[in-house]
Amino acid sequence: MELSGYGVGSRVAIGEAVRMPAPLPEPKDVPFRGDEAAEKARAEASIAAVQEDLAGRAATAEGAIKEVLEAQSLMAADPTIAQLVDQAIEGGKTAERGVFEAFATYAETLRSLGGYMAERVTDLNDISQRIRAHLQGVPVPEVPERDAPFILVAIDLAPADTGKLDLSKVLAFVTRDGSPKAHTGIIAAEKGLPAVVAVAGADDIRDGQELIVDAGRDLVIVEPSEAELGAARAEQQRQAEIEAAPLEPGALADGSAVSLLANVGKPADAHIALEHGAEGVGLFRTEFLFLDRDEAPSKETQIADYTALLEPFAGKKVVARVLDAGADKPLSFLNDAEEANPALGMRGIRILREKETLLRDQLEALRAAQDATGADLWVMAPMVADAADSEYFTNLGRSAGLQTVGSMIEVPSAAVVAEQILETSDFVSIGTNDLTQYALAADRVLGTVANYQDPWHPAVLRLIGMIGEAGAKAGKPVGVCGEAAADPRLAVVLVGLGVTSLSMAPPALAGVRASSAERAPGDRAGVSRHPASNIPCVAARRGRERAAFDVSGRG
């Protein structure tokens, strides 16, 4: 039996299903007639214990999971939650019921905001479960432990669960809910763990059933036939051979260079990227240094951390994105104003323009780190919407002594006026996750609209084609640093659309390197040139049967 969902990565796993324990049931809403002060103290102690536990996990975590755990720790400590719990207890609720209702109310508020804030609902539900388990003195419903490797099946996974998966035991995971672009999917990609999420029928998978998880084809096969198992094993062997291939620079079959870069979040990620054969860094998320702080780090602190990340890349390209705050990463020292839709509000370069001193400090710290390490530093601004944003940031970067200053294109307006942005930007880098979300008006974290969160959509490819064409005319580089770059089939299509570098989670580099090397410009995974235009036509979409469409709109 085949079940369809949305794959994370392109790997294949074969194994026995083990189901995640069911979430704690909703606490009964019965009147509380005990000691109100004692009940408040009990709730306060459990909240503090969970907050401390999450903070401790964050301190030893790395990459995207560190950022998520830090955010969860801050949520658990949010005084709004404590106030809601106290109010519920004063209204005659038990501590368990008060915690349940407080987090449910908070989650509904975030869900109504949509965008990045809605992504935090899974985190809130996870924290609620942990606090209520502590109150009841029962284990938190977490990933089960087994002696033999297995495939995890769950309703959904909180980022905290995904981050601590034992890769020697968990071969893959399958969820009924979720989205491939939410934090859980991003963490799975960072770990190189195959997954298929938003799977209709996942609830019917039983413990002990044999599964094939084929992330590249968005499929879960339950109780596969011998023929299906044989095909899956052959694909695993092919992928193993790709992983063992020499770590050579990215290139097409005709020798055309395609830079293969890594997405990193902090200094410890640098060595992981190099081990996977990254030629440099295509996205350095500098916000790791700003999270979990009441004030911005000093310039000296920034210089030390940036230097630590750049040192392993002496002589290599490193593209640093300046602080991308706002939306799902609110920082009190930047902007504490409430916004009805923060994904469309003061984030990225918009808020940095309001806090120019902070931006200048960051740019000067990055330049100092470049001077100390000899890395080929490129710096770009997030959430650029038009040529005015680009001109502002480029002028500021030049005044800080930076030589290569560019713009991220995540907003459709920036794609439409890419040629104007490239008049002042030295390069552009496409964030395909947000570009897809904004182009299709589809929240990237909602499983209900995950079918729209698709970089293969002709509208998205047409926007990318416009950017590529503008880059070619200006003679300036066009990179992709969104998750689309990690899809071996799509990566070569992006190159056909004018992209000159691809940046991804390090585990994806081997597959993309092999896919690129197999193809020449006239043979790019179903890409052909339309005779009436110079924009490719695409005849494949992640292995699904689909009629060919022409991104130029003429075919």
Q: What pLDDT, on a 0 to 100 scale, did the predictor assign at position 545? A: 31
Q: Give the residue carrying structure tokens 């089960």.
A: 144
The Cα 354–Cα 209 span in angstroms is: 56
Per-residue pLDDT tens digits of the chain, which is 555 residues long:
999 998 988 899 999 999 998 888 899 998 888 899 999 999 999 999 999 988 888 887 776 667 777 878 888 888 888 999 999 999 999 999 999 999 898 888 766 665 556 666 777 888 899 999 999 998 888 888 888 999 999 998 876 677 778 888 999 999 998 877 776 787 788 888 999 999 999 999 999 999 999 998 999 999 999 999 999 999 999 988 888 877 778 877 777 788 999 999 888 889 999 999 999 999 999 988 887 677 888 999 999 999 999 999 999 999 999 998 765 556 666 766 677 677 787 888 998 998 899 999 999 999 999 999 999 999 999 999 999 999 999 999 999 999 999 999 999 999 999 999 999 999 999 999 899 999 999 877 676 787 888 899 999 999 999 999 999 999 999 999 988 898 888 998 999 999 999 999 898 999 898 887 666 544 434 443 333 234 444 433 333 333 233 444 433
Which amino acid type is present at position 488? P
Task: Specify burial of residue 340 (Cβ count, 10 A radius: 0-12, 13-18, 19+).
Answer: exposed
CB 329 within 8 A of CB 74: no
Which amino acid type is present at position 52? E
Domains of the chain: 2-21+142-242 (3.50.30.10), 36-136 (1.10.274.10), 245-518+531-550 (3.20.20.60)
Q: Which residues pair with 212 in a beta bridge?
A: 14, 221
Three-state SS string over 52-97 comes to: HHHHHHHHHCCHHHHHHHHHHHHHHCCHHHHHHHHHHHHCCCCHHH
Q: What pLDDT, on a 0 to 100 scale, did the predictor assign at position 334? A: 72
CB 404 within 8 A of CB 381: no
Look at the pTM and tell me if it is higher than 0.75. no
For the sheet containing 527-529, what is the strand order? 527-529, 536-538, 549-550
Q: What pLDDT, on a 0 to 100 scale, did the predictor assign at position 221? A: 97
Task: Tell me the catalytic residues.
Answer: 183, 481
